[in-house]
Structure 1
């Protein structure tokens, strides 16, 4: 229960900070994280069966989040989304590893799926802070890379 409370607190703080002081990429990512988390609450399997088989609901949510973060990473004039999408890829690969080898320990599968979002939210907060600091010292900075514009 303590990990759930810590995650919700980190989610609220990091995404709230991103919505308050971040640019469009940070705000969009914050929305993606909230959407994924809220959908995850409804896709949550029974506690007894959790992590014994591939979590299909979680896999679909994590794959969608990977695509969303990947789009941000490709278009944003930021570095932090590359780290966030890399961690999300690890999560999706964790689902694939469990699918390929059902004997994979449930604890290993859980760690691969649950640990990285904490770091992703810290990265979002760090990226938001860097953007906010940069705009305070250099004025407006473009949110999207010039090669991504039509």
Structure 2
């Protein structure tokens, strides 16, 4: 139940040609408190409720619990969420033995493209695709819960 993840900006849209999956995601936060965020997400025809804890000092690891829920229940829960829904398309790209998830944001976060990779340990090595840019793992501005309240376009 510990998520180990690193985040990066992307420096080109070359990842789109390499993607093996592309899905639209709508998500909102019942709580965007960094110590315990509660997210509702609809990803195409599936929905989830996710609880995340505060990140460790490196920003790489934190508690995460997720459960699939019916889409109709998620739609109702989204109506209760805090202001600021995240709308994005997620592309999945294989790189070596890992998969990068690259999010292209819309609405008030349009212009932001961010890649994430989940790892087994904080110091695990991975192949860096040419489109992978600056690491922003420990920059809280790039957390979706932050972006829901402080959109990228307003920076």
TM interval, shorter chain, is under 0.3
Larger strand fraction of residues = 2
**For the pair shown, which has the larger CA radius of gyration, 1 or 2?**
1
TM-score by length of 1: 0.27
More helix by share: 1
TM-score, structure 2 as length reference: 0.27
